[in-house]
Structure 1
């Protein structure tokens, strides 16, 4: 018996798919980089995950319709800033359109110029290793050149359309 050559059409709506995805709790990150003209860009993303320990690789994804896609696709470096529980307002700001995302946001300069947001739980400074177009997103794989973290810091979490913080069981 031969396996099917392509997936069957979905038996659910986009809204139902989004609701099911919302049941997976994630951390919240802000991906940052420098534009070709030296400006800073950043966006909230919860599509972050580890890929490999040797070499150290991580991934995240971005909608093909995102205005920041050309800069992120063409740049050599970016940083993934894992937000702390007290950085909910930053997560919301960097997810919004038509706002000055960087107003009064303290950061330091990372590898390749990517901003490292002060107070983040962890940061991953990445070489922009590869990109894969799948569906309506581009999957970015970054080779981590440096990472830092704050021991004991509580991460900001996202589940079912709401923000949370951790509580040990």
Structure 2
């Protein structure tokens, strides 16, 4: 069931101030990967990741409606959410860039469905593209996790526009 509350009264809103306030929430950093119909790979950096449900196992992430990759991620049956480790800030930057080959110099293996799993990630989730919900200037993707793995290493964290690495690995 998808319900929507009535919209609040229209008022002036400072978008920059809103972004700055949101930046105070520390998030993990992910790279979402998938495969194009011609076999090429596509990946992008996203910090909008969260768990949704344990039964069934569901996660969510979002992508801007202006993103060139939106049709690919909307139409593909599967993708992998790679949670970056503290040593992988360079990957976050590379997959956030406008480079045409974001996979250049990147080590990866393939998931059961043939999608890239980034070597050294703290965790990864291979997902069936279960549903999509347009909201505002983004689309919320809900993925049903078919397989996942993790390591006990510190994740990459994003806070106030900076990448941070927690000082200690997880034991």
Q: TM-score band, normalised by the shorter chain?
A: over 0.9
Partner of 1:51: 52
Structure 2 unaligned blocks of 5 or more: none
CA positional deviation for 1:166: 1.6
Paired residues in the alignment total 164
CA positional deviation for 1:8: 2.1
CA positional deviation for 1:65: 0.8
CA positional deviation for 1:11: 4.2
Q: Is 1:110 paired with 2:111? A: yes
Instruction: Please list every run of at least 4 consecutive aligned residues from structure 1 whose deviation after the TM superposition is greater than 3 angstroms.
Output: none
For residues 51 and 126 of structure 1, the distance between their equivalents in structure 2, rounded to whole angstroms, comes to 13
**Normalising by the residue count of structure 1, what TM-score does the alignment of the two structures yield?**
0.93
Partner of 2:6: 5
Query: How well do the aligned residues superpose, as a CA RMSD in angstroms?
Result: 1.4
Structure 1 unaligned blocks of 5 or more: none
Contact 1:73 1:131 in 2 (8 A): yes
For residues 111 and 65 of structure 1, the distance between their equivalents in structure 2, rounded to whole angstroms, comes to 30
Q: Is 1:122 paired with 2:123? A: yes
3-state SS of 2:149 partner: strand
Q: Is 1:138 paired with 2:139? A: yes
